[in-house]
Homo-oligomer: A and B are copies of this chain.
Amino acid sequence: MNSETNRPTLMPDFERVSTETVQSRVHGRLRELLMLGRFAPGHPLKIADLAEAMGTSAQPVRESIRQLVAERALEALPNRSARVPGMTLERLEDLRRVRLAIEGLAAELATERATAEDIDALRALMAVGIEADNSGAIDTTVQMNKRFHFALYAIAGSSTLLPFIESLWLQIGPIMRQSAAIFDGRGGRGNEMHARMVEGLDRRDKEAVREALADDISRSFNLLAKDLARTAERPAG
């Protein structure tokens, strides 16, 4: 620890809910940054830089990076350094397929278990999401989309599924901002699907919810695939 903790316990019971280690703070921060697409694909993550930026030693950062590699959010290079993985058409298609299977299952489970309050909460999140869409704030749009989806998946109540979904979102995070930007130009289609999901939940129609989710995923992936193909043609730009 650094200068902050040199004084002997001057602070009150400040944020001491449970195990609040430096490591967990660093890891949470990095995950958040990755999921919201604040690191571009191909960006190399240097332990020393991140440690300095977060005001810690290298130790917590290096362990966090190792954890992120295990979660497939980063890839380990032969250099022994780590970077944000690049996206190819094959990987995008692979991610789409797996997201449909895993998040589709979560959506079905959620449909079985959702209470009226759960559905109301989703509706509220959706409302904020629509607002963000209309205001054109990309960051907020991305964040609200994530909040809506994870609220849905939390309802599923599968502690096995959730970490996989988080891993998937860590992997698509770096290109999600891009997707949102494209979407933004075409009007907020994402919340259309969200509305269909909520409607399906209301009717306890598993298939409807799964299909709305599938459309949500596929639509954004199709746009990204097109964008990726375009960028591949002219590698310089």
| A63 interface neighbour in B66, B72, B167, Cβ under 8 Å | B66
Known A-B contacts A91-B159, A101-B102, A105-B97; the reply to A80 vs B164 at CB < 8 A is: no
A78 to B161, CA, bound (A): 22
| A97 interface neighbour in B66, B67, B80, B158, Cβ under 8 Å | B158
Cβ-based interface call for A118 (8 A): no
Q: B residues within 8 A CB of A97? A: 105, 109, 158, 160
Known A-B contacts A67-B67, A102-B101, A102-B102; the reply to A163 vs B72 at CB < 8 A is: yes
Q: Are A159 and B78 in contact (CB under 8 A)?
A: no
In the complex, what's the smallest C-beta–C-beta distance from A188 to chain B, in angstroms? 27
Known A-B contacts A66-B63, A102-B101, A102-B102; the reply to A94 vs B21 at CB < 8 A is: no
A159 to B21, CA, bound (A): 32
Q: B residues within 8 A CB of A71? A: 70
Known A-B contacts A78-B18, A102-B101; the reply to A160 vs B70 at CB < 8 A is: no
In the complex, what's the smallest C-beta–C-beta distance from A34 to chain B, in angstroms? 14
Q: Are A158 and B98 in contact (CB under 8 A)?
A: yes
Q: B residues within 8 A CB of A70? A: 67-68, 70-71
Q: Which residue of B lies closest to A96 (CB)?
A: B160
| A164 interface neighbour in B66, B68, B69, B164, Cβ under 8 Å | B164
A109 to B93, CA, bound (A): 13
Cβ-based interface call for A95 (8 A): yes
| A105 interface neighbour in B19, B78, B101, B161, Cβ under 8 Å | B101
Cβ-based interface call for A179 (8 A): no
Cβ-based interface call for A171 (8 A): yes
Q: Are B94 and A158 in contact (CB under 8 A)?
A: yes
Give 1 or 0 for each of A99-116: 1 = CB within 8 Å of chain B CB: 001100100010000000
Q: B residues within 8 A CB of A171? A: 160
Q: Are B67 and A161 in contact (CB under 8 A)?
A: no
Among A48-74, those with CB < 8 Å from B are 62-63, 66-72
Q: Are B80 and A21 in contact (CB under 8 A)?
A: yes
Of the A-B pairs whose beta carbons lie under 8 Å apart in the complex, a sample of 10, sorted by A's number, is A62-B63, A63-B66, A67-B67, A67-B70, A98-B105, A98-B164, A101-B105, A102-B102, A102-B164, A164-B167
